[in-house]
């Protein structure tokens, strides 16, 4: 059975993962409104990944005879000044999530909670991917600058991203 402290911390993390999904869905809506459907598609796939992350934590509590408690979600921001700003914020958000995963890793070690430690190893690796993928797009957008042609090309490329359940097993785009 999962301990009380770990259960509370994982319930908090479920909220963070759902807020990530909410944020990226809001970014998808922003990109659609700007006619950047490829970037919107990238964010829609990212939203689905975040839901999978939340459910991994949900199932961990359930499998260990704990009790999931869903906490209120913050309303996400809805406008950005540019695609670059949106992806920079996505990168910053992933760094924030990585810090939360680090905190959980430390708590699991302090509590001697080996099942949680094993689950969290997957998330440590996943966060490396999450930071890399958002930072890579932000860097490309920086390089593109004001080039409309560059933006159209990148939008097309990002639109090829699709979500499959297996994407979450070995990593992410
Ligand atoms: Fe769940 O990794 Fe992004 O937030």
Of 124, 119, 100, nearest in space to 20 by CA: 100
Of 42, 134, 19, 30, nearest in space to 78 by CA: 30
Determine, yes or no, domain membership for 169.
no
Residue 106 and residue 150 in contact, taking contact as beta carbons nearer than 8 Å: no
The pTM assigned to this predicted structure is 0.93
Determine, yes or no, domain membership for 156.
yes
Can you read off the two tokens belonging to residue 151? 């933006």
Domain that holds residue 142: 4-163
Q: How far is the CA of 87 from the centre of ligand 1 (A)?
A: 14
Closest ligand 1 atom to Cα of 127: 2
Determine, yes or no, domain membership for 170.
no
CATH code of the domain covering residue 35 = 1.20.1260.10
Can you read off the two tokens belonging to residue 55? 């459910």
Determine, yes or no, domain membership for 168.
no
Q: How far is the CA of 142 from the centre of ligand 1 (A)?
A: 23
Q: How far is the CA of 155 from the centre of ligand 1 (A)?
A: 22
Identify the burial level of 31 via C-beta atoms within 10 angstroms of its C-beta, where 0-12 means exposed, 13-18 middle and 19 or more buried: buried
* Cα(163)–Cα(23) distance, integer angstroms: 17
pLDDT tens digits for range 113-160:
999 999 999 999 999 999 999 999 999 999 999 999 999 999 999 999
pLDDT tens digits for range 9-28:
999 999 999 999 999 999 99
Can you read off the two tokens belonging to residue 8? 């509370």
């Amino acid at each position: 059975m999962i301990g009380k402290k770990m259960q509370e911390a994982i319930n908090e993390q479920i909220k963070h993962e759902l807020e990530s999904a909410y944020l990226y869905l809001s970014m998808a809506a922003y990109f659609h409104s700007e006619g950047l459907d490829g970037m919107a598609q990238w964010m829609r796939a990212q939203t689905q990944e975040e839901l999978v992350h939340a459910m991994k934590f949900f199932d961990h509590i359930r499998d260990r005879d704990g009790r999931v408690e869903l906490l209120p979600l913050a309303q996400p921001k809805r406008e950005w000044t540019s695609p670059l700003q949106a992806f920079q914020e996505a990168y910053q958000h992933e760094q924030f999530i990585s810090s939360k995963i680090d905190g959980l890793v430390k708590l699991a070690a302090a509590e001697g909670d080996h099942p949680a430690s094993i689950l969290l190893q997957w998330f440590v690796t996943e966060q490396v991917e999450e930071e890399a993928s958002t930072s890579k797009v932000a860097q490309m957008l920086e390089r593109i600058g004001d080039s409309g042609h560059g933006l159209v090309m990148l939008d097309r490329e990002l639109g090829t991203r699709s979500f499959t359940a297996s994407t979450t097993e070995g990593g992410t785009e």
